[in-house]
Each structure stands twice: as C-alpha cells, then as structure tokens.
C-alpha cells in the first residue's frame, strides 16, 4: 500500500505540474503572436532608415564623412559586445545558445590579440558571466517585457559613448533573430562603427528629398542616431519574440512529457494495484484452505 500511495502522490504532482506548463504555454502563445506583429511592423522602418542613410552617404564626400565619429573605422584593439538574454528562464535553449556564441566570439577575439568587454542585457546573462573573467562595462536587467524605444535609446547611447570615447574600437550585438514560431537563430551584428552598405549603381538621391540645413548636419544629428537607436530596438524586439517562441515550445514539450509520464505512472499504478489485489485474494484463499484442512 505504501508503494501505491507513493505512485498516486507522484501522479498528482505531475498532473499539477502539467497544469502549470499548459497555462504557461497558452500565455506564451498569446504573447508571441503580438511580439511577432511588432517585429514584422518594425522591420520596414529599419530598412527605410538604412536606405535613407545609404543615399545620404552616397551623396557625401569621404572627407566630410570622416568628421562623423560613428562612421570612422580605426584599427580594432578592443571590442565591446552587447549580449541580449532574458530575465526569466523556462525557455529551453534560448539563453545557452546565445552564451555559447558569445564565448566562441570572445575566444576568437582573444586569439586575434584583441581585448573584449561586455554589456549584458538580462538577468540570465549577468548570472552566467558573473564567474567568467571578462570586463563588464554595463548591465541592464528587469527591462519591460515589451521593449520600448526609451530603453533602446539608453543602450544605444551608452554603446556610442564607449565607441566615441575610444574605450572600444568596435561594438557588436549578439542576440537572437526571430524567424517563426518554431525557429530562431543567434546573430552577431556589427553595430559600431556604422557600416553602410555600398551604394547601388545608378542610385541617386531623389531631387524632392531635401536636407536642411545640410546633409551632414541631418546625418550627424538625426539619421545616424535614429539608425543606431532603431538597430538596438529591432534587436530587442527580435530577441523578445524569439524568447516567447522558445518558452512556448519548451512548455509544449514539458506538457507533452508530463502527459507521457502520467500515462506511464498510471500503468505502473494499475499493475501494482492489480498485484496487490491478487496477493490479497491469494492470502484469503490460503487462509480458508488452512482453516478447512
């Protein structure tokens, strides 16, 4: 009976766990759809900002471009890496995959003789890299579940200040790109200096597009700041959507595993119960036979 009671308690425990994982799966599924819509809505704006910056750079002289700090390329001695992780767990391999990519990148840069410093976003990144001997310049934790432009602007400005001050010679963003509900991939994006794609042949600045007071002033004060802010914002949106998708998938797998475990435990329980009943019947029959004899 003690064994039967233990199995029965185990079944109840797994059933309770399954209720929790099923609820978390439904919540993540509802949130990930909205996150997907935000990602898809923001991508055209990012592309439009890049196109306008590309056209403006194409119309500017190299000498003038050299005066904009965020466009200046210099020999790389130290690299800053912005690591985007989550504040919460229960999202499968979402965080470990990002951390593995970061460790590989650090090892590669160290092999090239370059120093590395980290800007960590998310409690999981802070916890993971706490014991790893690498410089941490800034941490951002407990950010809103829905990324906002304000947080993106703060992170972008901090990274730009590191680059402009010369503390780092390049900045990279390692995060997760959302592909679909079932797929995502870790990306390493070159963030600073701003890398503008080469101008397309035959592409010219449209005559009706005017820059006041000048192209250089608009680039330095508006276009480039908007571009770096939107780059970080887009990365945060992509990571948030990928995290929710990973959590939904992880909770789906957990619910399915709990269901299978309940079935397995129920079978074991029924067999043990049947064996117990059979044993009791044999004892009764044996006792009756003893009294009769």
Domain range for 156: 24-197+204-250
Residue 291 lies in a domain: no
pTM higher than the cut 0.85:
no
pLDDT of 264 over the 70 cut: yes
- Residue-wise pLDDT tens digits, 91-116: 888 999 999 999 999 999 999 999 99
- Does residue 10 lie within any of the structural domains? no
Q: Is 117 a catalytic residue?
A: no
Encode pLDDT of 2-30 as tens digits.
588 888 888 899 999 999 999 988 988 88
CATH number for position 236: 3.40.1380.10
Supply the DSSP string of the chain, one letter for each residue: -HHHHHHHHHHHHHHHHHHHHHHHHHHHHHHHHHHHHHHHHHHHHHHHHHHHHHHHHHTS-HHHHTTSGGG-----SEEEEEEE--SS--STTHHHHHHHHHHHHHHHHHHTT-EEEEEEESHHHHHHGGGS-SEEEEEE-S--SS--HHHHHHHHHHHHHHHHTTS-SEEEEEEEEEEETTEEEEEEEEEES--PPPPPTT----TT---SS-HHHHIIIIIHHHHHHHHHHHHHHHHHHHHHHHHHHHHHHHHHHHHHHHHHHHHHHHHHHHHHHHHHHHHHHHHHHHHH-
Q: Exactly one of 71, 91, 102, 109 is catalytic; name it.
A: 91
Domain assignment of residue 187, yes or no: yes
Whether 13 maps to a domain, the answer reads: no
Cα dihedral: 113, 171, 127, 137 (round 10)? 90
Residue 262 domain flag: no
Model pLDDT for residues 68-85, shown as the tens digit of each residue = 888 888 899 999 999 999
* Domain tally, the chain: 1
In a domain, 290, yes or no: no
Query: Is residue 52 included in any domain, yes or no?
Result: yes
Predicted pLDDT at 197: 61
* 35 occurs within a structural domain: yes
pLDDT of residue 209: 59
């Amino acid at each position: 009976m003690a064994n039967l009671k233990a199995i029965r308690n185990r079944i109840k425990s797994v059933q309770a766990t399954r209720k929790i994982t099923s609820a978390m799966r439904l919540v993540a599924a509802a949130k990930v759809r909205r996150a997907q819509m935000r990602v898809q809505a923001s991508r055209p704006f990012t592309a439009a900002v890049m196109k306008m910056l590309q056209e403006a750079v194409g119309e500017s002289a190299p000498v003038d471009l050299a005066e904009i700090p965020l466009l200046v390329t210099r020999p790389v001695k130290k690299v800053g890496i912005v690591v985007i992780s989550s504040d919460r767990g229960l999202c499968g391999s979402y965080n470990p995959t990002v951390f593995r990519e970061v460790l590989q990148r650090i090892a590669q840069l160290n092999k090239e003789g370059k120093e590395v410093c980290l800007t960590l976003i998310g409690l999981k990144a802070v916890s993971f890299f706490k014991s790893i001997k690498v410089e941490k310049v800034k941490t951002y934790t407990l950010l809103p579940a829905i990324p906002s432009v304000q947080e993106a602007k703060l992170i972008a400005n901090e990274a730009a200040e590191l680059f402009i001050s010369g503390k780092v010679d390049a900045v990279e963003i390692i995060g997760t790109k959302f592909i679909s509900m079932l797929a995502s991939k870790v990306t390493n994006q070159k963030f600073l200096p701003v890398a503008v794609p080469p101008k397309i042949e035959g592409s010219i600045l449209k005559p009706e597009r005017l820059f006041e007071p000048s192209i250089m002033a608009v680039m330095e004060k508006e276009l480039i700041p908007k571009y770096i802010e939107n780059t970080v914002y887009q990365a945060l949106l992509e990571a948030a959507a990928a995290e929710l998708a990973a959590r939904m998938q992880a909770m789906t797998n957990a619910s399915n595993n709990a269901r299978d475990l309940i079935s397995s435990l129920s079978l074991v329980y029924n067999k043990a119960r049947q064996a117990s009943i059979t044993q009791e019947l044999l004892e009764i029959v044996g006792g009756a036979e003893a009294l009769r004899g």
